A and B are shown apart, each in its own frame.
Chain A
Amino acid sequence: MSNLLVSRIDERPDFPLLRVALEPGQKVFAEPGAMVTMTSGVKLTAGFRGGIGATIGRALGGESLILSTYTATESGEVAFAPPSLGDIQHVRLDGSGTVLVQRGAFLAHGEGVEVSASWQGARGFFSGQGLVMLKASGRGDLFFNSFGALIPLDVASEGLIVDTGFIVAFDDTVDYRVRSLPNARSGLFSKLKTFFMGGEAIVCEFSGRGRVWIQARQLGSYLSWVHPYRPVKQRSSDD
């Protein structure tokens, strides 16, 4: 029996469903609530996986404290769906490095993969990545989801600039720093003005060598676009 999972992602790219085939004894770990269907030979248990550190790390990384474990008692299949529309990415970790996943983007992983927290500090705050990202390491399968289509980009020696909010995940062999665009007007005041009034003035610049997964839509911008069309609840005059 291998640690590695046989999986398929159907209905891509808008409303994908992750289907994992399990041999007897194989396990897959996922966010609670992500399960859509499973064959009756699969047993579900929930718990704080990976000790206190990993559990708190997951919570800080915008995920649930509890992780659901699906164990196959006989050959079967489990299907998972992420909460939003968008795509699912499968990455097989070979032990040569780890993958950092954006807050909330984690969907599932197989045996042999450990998910822990990675402190991002000030640059995480300013880049909109959040103070903590999730770090997946080990050897095995990792699945994460995006809002909008998922696009893998390779960072080569020339570097890559990504607007904040579009980053889903990246290899730990690349690194990012938060900077203002070089053609943005200089001066602290105009920098602050652009930062608070929007625009692409604050970006993440990746360097090193490896892969960055970006999403084709950003949830915050999408919600701002939807907002004006929302019906407004009228307050009745007699309260």
Chain B
Amino acid sequence: MGEAEQFDGGIFDASLEGGRAAAVIRFRTGCVEARVASGPCYELPYAGLRIELGGHSGRVVFLRGAAEGRVIFSEAKGFLEAVRERGGMTVEAAHEAVTSGINRDRRRGRGLWLIAAVVLAGLVWLIPLGLRAGVDGAVASMPKSVDAQLGELAAMEISRTGPTVDDPRAAAFAQEVVDKLVAVLPPEEREYAFKITVVENAQVNAFALPGGRMALLTGLLKRADNADMVAAVIAHEISHVTKRHGLRHMVRSLGVVAGLQLLLGDVSGVAAVLAQGATLAVITNYSRDHESEADAVGMQMLAKAGFDPAAMPAFFEKLKSLDASEMPKGLEWISTHPDHDSRIAALRALLPTAERGKAAVLKNSFAEAKAAVKGD
């Protein structure tokens, strides 16, 4: 770097038209020189030179003389270093003052960035929580008729699963289990129209629709060891209904507007979505926290109604042990309910808290119900 080094910048001086002009800046021995396009050259001696940083970007270097008025400035890269290099000892103190200011601002800047990052991370964490609370609040404020509306829309899902089993031994048994369980619910939860249909299907499965309609698949009836196991699954499904998981899930996936449409009796939007074959995915593909809640609530209900609460973890154990190759569709129920090992463990941990009521006596026989459905 020699005498030839120059920077684009500008100068403020009272003698200039408008008080300022663009200039080419060079560092001479003893002074900084700014030459404007119209020809004249303006100088500022290094002695008494004040250096300031500013401008909108904060990166414009202003060189002020001892006397007020003339200011040479540039935002060009390397300008500040050139001032230090060419000005030598004379500008050292002024240069030092500016660079320490820059470093202080940089440290402060880093601090602010850190705070901003922490705040942002907090928001990213809080927003989903807030949305979830919003959904739950919206669902809680909707009347129970909305659940029934949604259940009606999805009712065809039951007939789509398989033909209804009319044999009174199976149908009456299933409905009696439902009635026994519903009898121990708090009064406001009993308002749903709980009705179960036994459907001929080899899958080991049962499901509930919002509003209280349920389906029990014959595969499950066949595989269960006793009435308590059937009751355990039904108690779990009833809990989905009373905790309104179907509506919650639909509002989460389709938006609150869909819920409001149901509330106002305008079912066209929701019906259109359901008609596209998304029925079960939209309504019964519950999240893991919904499943856990249904397990816990279902176990209390099961015990209170006089069934054996241990039947719930026992049923999951049985499903787990069913050989997948022997029964390819056997694990269906468990596959939509993931992470069954931890589920079984969680249910076992809940067992001591389950207060068992007077042992349930069923008028309909489990063995006869099981015999009534076709085997595989």
A interface residues with partner B (beta carbon < 8 Å):
94-98, 100, 118, 154, 157, 170, 172-175, 207-210
B interface residues with partner A (beta carbon < 8 Å):
8-12, 19-23, 37, 54-58, 60, 62, 68, 71, 73, 75
Known A96-B21, A96-B22; further 4 A-B contacts with Cβ < 8 A: A96-B20, A97-B10, A208-B54, A208-B60
Does the CB pair B22–A173 fall under 8 Å? no
Q: What B residues does A207 contact at CB under 8 A?
A: 54
Q: What A residues does B73 contact at CB under 8 A?
A: 173, 209
Q: What A residues does B9 contact at CB under 8 A?
A: 96
10 smallest beta-carbon distances between A and B, as pairs: A96-B10, A96-B22, A94-B22, A172-B56, A208-B54, A95-B22, A173-B55, A175-B56, A209-B71, A172-B55
Q: What A residues does B8 contact at CB under 8 A?
A: 95-96
Q: How far is the CA of A46 from the CA of B22 in the complex (A)?
A: 32
Q: How far is the CA of A173 from the CA of B58 in the complex (A)?
A: 9
Q: How far is the CA of A95 from the CA of B10 in the complex (A)?
A: 9
Does the CB pair A172–B21 fall under 8 Å? no
The DSSP consensus for interface residues of chain B is strand
Does the CB pair A175–B10 fall under 8 Å? no
Q: What A residues does B58 contact at CB under 8 A?
A: 175
The residue in chain B whose Cβ has the minimal distance to the Cβ of A207 is: B54
Total cross-chain contacts (CB, 8 A): 53
Q: How far is the CA of A173 from the CA of B59 in the complex (A)?
A: 9
Shortest CB-to-CB span from B125 to chain A, Å, is 22
Q: How far is the CA of A98 from the CA of B21 in the complex (A)?
A: 12
Q: How far is the CA of A89 from the CA of B11 in the complex (A)?
A: 22
Q: How far is the CA of A157 from the CA of B69 in the complex (A)?
A: 9
Does the CB pair B55–A175 fall under 8 Å? yes
The DSSP consensus for interface residues of chain A is strand
Q: Can you report 10 A-B residue pairs in the complex whose CB atoms are below 8 A from each other? A: A95-B8, A95-B22, A96-B8, A96-B22, A173-B62, A208-B54, A208-B55, A209-B71, A210-B12, A210-B20
Q: What B residues does A154 contact at CB under 8 A?
A: 19
Q: What B residues does A175 contact at CB under 8 A?
A: 54-56, 58
Shortest CB-to-CB span from A127 to chain B, Å, is 13
Q: How far is the CA of A118 from the CA of B75 in the complex (A)?
A: 16
Q: Evaluate whether A172 and B60 lie within 8 angstroms (CB atoms) in the complex, with A97-B10, A157-B68, A207-B54 already known.
A: yes
Shortest CB-to-CB span from B157 to chain A, Å, is 43
Q: What A residues does B75 contact at CB under 8 A?
A: 97
Q: What B residues does A170 contact at CB under 8 A?
A: 56
Shortest CB-to-CB span from B112 to chain A, Å, is 10
Q: How far is the CA of A97 from the CA of B73 in the complex (A)?
A: 10
Q: Could you say which of B19, B21, B60 has the most chain A C-beta atoms within 10 Å of its C-beta?
A: B60
Q: How far is the CA of A154 from the CA of B57 in the complex (A)?
A: 19
Does the CB pair A174–B56 fall under 8 Å? yes
Among A100, A118, A173, the residue within 8 A (CB) of B54 is: A173
Q: What A residues does B22 contact at CB under 8 A?
A: 94-96
Q: How far is the CA of A100 from the CA of B57 in the complex (A)?
A: 11
Shortest CB-to-CB span from A175 to chain B, Å, is 5
Shortest CB-to-CB span from B192 to chain A, Å, is 40
Does the CB pair B57–A209 fall under 8 Å? no
Does the CB pair A118–B21 fall under 8 Å? no
Q: How far is the CA of A174 from the CA of B56 in the complex (A)?
A: 6
Q: What A residues does B62 contact at CB under 8 A?
A: 173, 208-209
Q: How far is the CA of A173 from the CA of B63 in the complex (A)?
A: 12
The residue in chain A whose Cβ has the minimal distance to the Cβ of B58 is: A175
Q: How far is the CA of A95 from the CA of B71 in the complex (A)?
A: 17
Shortest CB-to-CB span from A8 to chain B, Å, is 19
